[in-house]
Amino acid sequence: MFSLEQRGTCVTLRGPEGLYSVYDPACVFTGMGWDAESASALLLGAAPRSALLLGYGGGTVARQLRLMFPRMRLTGVEIDAQIAGLAISRFGAEAIGATIVIGNGARFIRRSKRRYDFVLDDMWDHEQRRRRAILSDLRWLPTVTRRLTPRGLYAVNVFVDDCAAALRRMRRHFAEVTRVALPWERVCVLAGSRESVRPERIGRLLARLPAAIVQALGEVEFTSC
C-alpha cells in the first residue's frame, strides 16, 4: 500500500492517493498541498501555542509548523504504527519535538480533554471504505469545536471536488471559513475560525517570520468563503 523512495537527501512516502509525506533536510516547504495546510495556521493572526495534527503521516506539516512557530506545542495522532515508525526513522521526527500518539484521530479528539489553538484534520481512509468525518458525521464538527481554545482554528484538508460539501457543513459552526490552497493542487484546506479573520493581524504575524518562509508560502492563496 505504501512505498518509500529516496533520491539524494529527499525521502518520499507514497500511498494510494499519491505522495503521502516528503522529507528533504535542505527544503522544508514543498510547493505542494502541505504548504497550504501549514499556511492556514496564519489565519489565527498570532503564533499558535498548541497544535493537534490528526493524521501525522511522516511529519511534513509538523516540520513546517515547527519552523514557523518554534515554541508551539505539537501533538500528532497517526493511526498507522508503521508510518509513525518511519516518521521517526526516516523523516526526522525527533528533531521536530512533537508528541506522536499511535491511534485513531477521531477517537483521540473525542476522548481528549485538552484544547488547542490549531487543529488540522488530515485523516484519510486509504482503503477508501469510509468517507471523511467532515463529510459523513454530523457530530464531528461539534466535537472539534469543543477541543478548540476561544481563539482556536480548525483546518481540514479535502479534495477540491469535496470542498463545496465540506464548506456547507463548516458554515454552520464557524463565524468565518477561509479556503487556503495552491492553485495547481487537487486538494485544498478549509479553515474555520470562531472570530472574523483580520488581515492586518496576519500581516503582522508574517512580518515576524523569516523572509525565506514568507517567500516559500508566497503562492498560497487565501479566499474568504
Query: What integer pLDDT is reported at residue 195 of this predicted model?
Result: 86
Overall average pLDDT of the 85-107 stretch: 94
Query: What integer pLDDT is reported at residue 126 of this predicted model?
Result: 61
CA dihedral of 59, 64, 68, 69, whole degrees rounded to 10? 0
Q: Where are the domains of the chain?
A: 3-224
List pLDDT tens digits, range 38-47.
999 999 999 9
pLDDT, the chain, mean: 93
Task: Let me know: does 75 contact 65? Beta carbons within 8 Å.
Answer: no
Query: What integer pLDDT is reported at residue 129 of this predicted model?
Result: 63
Query: What integer pLDDT is reported at residue 63 of this predicted model?
Result: 97
pTM of the full structure: 0.95
Query: What integer pLDDT is reported at residue 124 of this predicted model?
Result: 84
- Long-range contacts made by residues 161-169, C-beta under 8 angstroms, separation at least 24? 162/132, 162/135, 163/188, 163/190, 165/135, 166/132, 166/134, 166/135, 166/190, 167/225, 169/134, 169/135, 169/141
Cell of 124: 484519510
- pLDDT above 90: residue 127: no
Strand-by-strand arrangement of the 116-121 sheet: 99-102, 73-78, 50-54, 116-121, 148-159, 187-193, 176-181, 221-224
3-state secondary structure of 164: helix
What's the CATH number of domain 3-224, 3.40.50.1000, 3.90.1010.10, 3.20.20.80, 3.40.50.150? 3.40.50.150
Strand-by-strand arrangement of the 18-23 sheet: 3-7, 10-15, 18-23
List pLDDT tens digits, range 169-189.
999 999 999 999 999 999 999
Q: Are strands 99-102 and 73-78 parallel, antiparallel or unpaired?
A: parallel
List pLDDT tens digits, range 22-66.
999 889 999 999 999 999 999 999 999 999 999 999 999 999 999
